[in-house]
């Protein structure tokens, strides 16, 4: 954990190599081959810089600050954070099928409960009122289409 | 000029027009706070209403109020919840958000309001004086100079390269430019690096990336680190709105410098508020005394004043090519140009002669927009800043929700939300590793323009010769190199001497 910056540097190095490979094999049109600036000219340069900088990160000594920070990570609320990420993914997947108002209310109610809200009536009313206001503002006032209701009761996904 | 000003005043100051500017500023500020709705989308939404008004001066006054309001609204969400909805306010979050976290949200918003007012007003004065001359200077800039200007903009990353983080900052910048190359570029029709995902054909959406990099990880960190989020809750006293005499003295020269710089950068078509804010931020960091320089990125008032002034002055500067040449210098002025055409006004070299009342009404509407914005927002700041006193178990879900919905409404596509969550998790891991994220977003924003201008310049010159053959390009590139290398060498010397 303390050497997380090394793992990230390794990930960036792998990314740069993969990016460079994709740039190298990028199919060029016949007229592009002799051009001074091709679609892969800058990507190849970027890949070279990416490989250089991430290699330097791997080779140079690690900063002590990261190791100090790692001490504080032990008390972190990992479970709640993971639950919130799952809820956000659920929101993304449900937004169209069940509509904006239901999905937003569900997200606000569940995420506020994860973070310690105990009053279910307050969380449901906060979710419903805020999603209703935002839906009205975005869809009705600004004219940006946002499906409000589930498809089975009138919403068009 | 005095005659023109009086003509503009006559057209602009009427009870109806004053109501228009109030409505414009109010709507712009509140809608602008929603991530994903930048000035461009808000003005586009308001065009049908402006056309209904009929009178060009009133319509322009309404749109100008919306424009300035939206920029201030964008700064508000940057400062309060680290969620910059538009590229031009990203640099404001670098120091504005740390100030808000340290219990200075009210002061940060006051500085933003005053600097925006000063930048916009000084910009309007400069527009009045220099508009005809600058339109010819802007024509001297070719893709080679634009490329050099983008490189100069990238030097802002030096501000995040302290304490041995220079390689990490450079890594993040390269990574940001790499992300900007995903999808079709302006020069080539073929899509690159999309992995077969159709939604990536037009590239990564800016709001998705910025929400994923800034707002979402911030919310996740607040959940992860309960101690910090409780300390933040205790810091939410917002009575501290006043700027002390010393602070005013400190930011006055910044405002003066950045008004000039922002305006002249804004005049160059395509450069705009984003470029001006990054350049302004980088330059002020280099000019700051040693002790103050350390505060950049941690809540420096200079670091907030510089981009806030520069982006507003640049917005005004971007009107120069639009009004005098009929060329839109930015996306927002392109939409405004469309509105002018719909109102039967043809912007261009003859506008000042053929329809002077419209030209001067636009300038007066800028003054009015800035003044009304200040009058409207200063008393509202305590209420806006109260947003931070919302209990943690609601504030965090709402920050996540606004980030998600900001990405969604821009593209109307649920895949954007999944991309954003993925980017948010990646950014959280990068923060654990001590990788500065602002260089990534700077690289992403400037990356597209950098490639387009490099491509055009290389095609024109047949290679990289343009870098040393064009004196202006060479001059800007040498300045960029000096601005990047000098602070690194200086910091290195300091570390060695310590």
Express each pLDDT in A113-127 by its tens digit.
Answer: 998 888 999 999 999
What is residue A1's predicted lDDT score, i.e. its pLDDT? 44
**C-alpha to C-alpha distance for B253 and B255, rounded to whole angstroms:** 5
Chain B within 8 Å of A22 (Cβ-Cβ)? yes
pLDDT tier for residue B103 given thresholds of 50, 70 and 90: confident
* Residue of B31, B397, B418 lying closest to A92 (CB–CB): B418
More confident residue, A89 or B75: A89
Mean pLDDT of chain B: 80
Q: What is the CA radius of gyration of chain A?
A: 24
What is residue B137's predicted lDDT score, i.e. its pLDDT? 67
A70: closest chain B residue by CA: B432
**C-alpha to C-alpha distance for B349 and B76, rounded to whole angstroms:** 37
Q: Is A145 left (phi over 0), alpha (psi -120 to 50) or beta?
A: beta
Instruction: Tell whether the model's pLDDT for residue A144 goes beyond 60.
Output: yes
B195: closest chain A residue by CA: A22
Chain B within 8 Å of A10 (Cβ-Cβ)? no
Question: Contact, B220 vs A111, CB < 8 A?
Answer: no
Chain B within 8 Å of A13 (Cβ-Cβ)? no
Orientation of helix B105-138 relative to helix B90-101, angle to 10°: 170
Instruction: Tell whether the model's pLDDT for residue A48 goes beyond 70.
Output: yes
pTM: predicted TM-score of the whole model, two decimal places:
0.75
Contact check, Cβ <8 Å, B45/A143: yes
Question: Contact, B422 vs B415, CB < 8 A?
Answer: no
Express each pLDDT in B236-251 by its tens digit.
Answer: 555 566 788 888 888 8
What is residue B234's predicted lDDT score, i.e. its pLDDT? 56
What residues contact B175, with CB distance under 8 A and at least 6 apart? A12, A15, A50, B440, B443
Distance of CA B425 to the CA centre of its chain: 25
Q: Which of A65-79, B391-405, B424-438, B454-468 has the lowest mean pLDDT?
A: A65-79
Which residue is listed with tokens 């500067």?
B317
What is residue B498's predicted lDDT score, i.e. its pLDDT? 63
Q: In B186-225, which residue ranges form alpha helices assigned H by DSSP? A: 206-210, 216-224
Contact check, Cβ <8 Å, B408/A95: yes
Helix, coil or strand: residue B183: strand
Chain B within 8 Å of A126 (Cβ-Cβ)? yes
Chain B within 8 Å of A107 (Cβ-Cβ)? yes
Instruction: Tell whether the model's pLDDT for residue B179 goes beyond 90.
Output: yes
**C-alpha to C-alpha distance for B151 and B172, rounded to whole angstroms:** 15
- Angle, vertex CA B42, rays to CA B36 and CA B48, nearest 5: 145
CA distance B296 to chain A (A): 19
What residues contact A149, with CB distance under 8 A and at least 6 apart? A99, A101, A102, A155
* Residue of B171, B216, B397 lying closest to A108 (CB–CB): B397
Chain B within 8 Å of A19 (Cβ-Cβ)? yes
Among B4, B224, B181, CA closest to A20: B181
CB pairs under 8 A between A and B: 174
Helix, coil or strand: residue B192: strand
Orientation of helix A41-59 relative to helix B438-461, angle to 10°: 140
Q: Which of A17-31, A55-69, A93-107, B381-395 has the lowest mean pLDDT?
A: A55-69
């Amino acid at each position: 954990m303390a050497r997380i910056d090394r793992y990230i540097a390794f990930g960036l190095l792998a990314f740069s190599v993969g990016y460079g490979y994709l740039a190298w094999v990028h199919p060029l049109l016949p007229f592009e081959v002799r051009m001074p600036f091709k679609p892969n000219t800058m990507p190849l340069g970027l890949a070279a810089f990416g490989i250089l900088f991430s290699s330097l990160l791997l080779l140079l000594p690690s900063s002590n600050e990261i190791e100090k920070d790692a001490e504080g990570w032990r008390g972190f609320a990992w479970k709640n954070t993971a639950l919130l990420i799952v809820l956000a993914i659920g929101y993304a997947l449900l937004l169209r099928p069940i509509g904006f108002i239901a999905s937003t209310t569900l997200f606000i109610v569940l995420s506020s409960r994860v973070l310690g809200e105990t009053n279910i009536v307050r969380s449901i009313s906060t979710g419903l009122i805020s999603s209703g206001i935002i839906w009205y503002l975005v869809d009705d006032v600004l004219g940006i289409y946002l499906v409000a209701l589930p498809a089975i009761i009138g919403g068009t996904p | 000029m005095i005659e023109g000003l009086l003509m503009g005043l006559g057209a602009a100051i009427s009870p109806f027009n004053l109501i228009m500017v109030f409505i414009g500023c109010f709507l712009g500020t509140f809608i602008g706070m929603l991530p994903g709705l930048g000035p461009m989308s808000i003005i586009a939404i308001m065009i049908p209403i402006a056309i209904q008004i009929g009178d060009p001066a009133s319509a322009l006054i309404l749109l100008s109020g919306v424009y300035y309001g939206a920029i201030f609204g964008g700064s508000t969400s940057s400062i309060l919840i680290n969620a910059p909805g538009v590229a031009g306010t990203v640099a404001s979050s670098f120091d504005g958000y740390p100030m808000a976290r340290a219990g200075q949200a009210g002061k940060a918003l006051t500085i933003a309001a005053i600097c925006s007012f000063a930048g916009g007003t000084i910009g309007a004065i400069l527009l009045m004086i220099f508009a005809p001359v600058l339109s010819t200077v802007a024509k001297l800039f070719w893709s080679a100079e634009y490329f050099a200007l983008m490189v100069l903009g990238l030097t802002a990353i030096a501000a995040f390269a302290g304490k041995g983080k220079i390689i990490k900052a450079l890594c993040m910048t390269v990574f940001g430019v790499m992300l900007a190359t995903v999808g079709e570029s302006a020069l080539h029709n073929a899509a690159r690096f999309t992995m077969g995902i159709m939604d990536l054909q037009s590239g990564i959406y800016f709001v998705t990336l910025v929400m994923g990099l800034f707002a979402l990880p911030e919310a996740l960190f607040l959940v992860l680190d309960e101690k910090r989020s409780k300390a933040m809750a205790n810091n939410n006293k917002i009575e501290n709105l006043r700027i002390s005499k010393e602070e005013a003295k400190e930011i006055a020269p910044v405002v003066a410098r950045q008004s000039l710089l922002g305006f002249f950068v804004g005049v160059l078509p395509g450069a705009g508020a984003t470029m001006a804010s990054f350049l302004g931020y980088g330059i002020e960091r280099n000019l700051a005394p040693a002790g103050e320089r350390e505060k950049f990125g941690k809540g420096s008032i200079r670091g907030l004043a510089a981009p806030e002034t520069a982006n507003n002055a640049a917005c005004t500067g971007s009107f120069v090519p639009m009004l005098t040449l009929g060329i839109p210098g930015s996306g927002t002025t392109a939409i405004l140009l469309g509105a002018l055409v719909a109102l039967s006004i043809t912007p261009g070299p003859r506008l000042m002669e053929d329809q002077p009342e419209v030209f001067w009404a636009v300038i007066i509407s800028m003054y009015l927009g800035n003044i009304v914005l200040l009058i409207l927002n200063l008393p509202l700041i305590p209420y806006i800043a109260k947003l931070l006193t919302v209990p943690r178990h609601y504030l965090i879900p709402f920050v996540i929700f606004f980030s998600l919905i900001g990405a969604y409404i821009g593209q109307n596509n649920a895949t954007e939300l999944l991309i954003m969550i993925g980017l948010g998790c990646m950014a959280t891991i990068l923060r654990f590793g001590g990788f500065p994220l602002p260089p990534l977003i700077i690289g992403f924003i400037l990356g597209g323009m950098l490639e387009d201008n490099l491509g055009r310049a290389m095609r024109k010159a047949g290679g990289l010769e343009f870098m040393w053959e064009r004196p202006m390009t060479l001059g800007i590139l040498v300045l960029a190199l000096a601005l990047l290398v000098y602070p690194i060498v200086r910091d290195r010397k300091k570390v060695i001497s310590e």
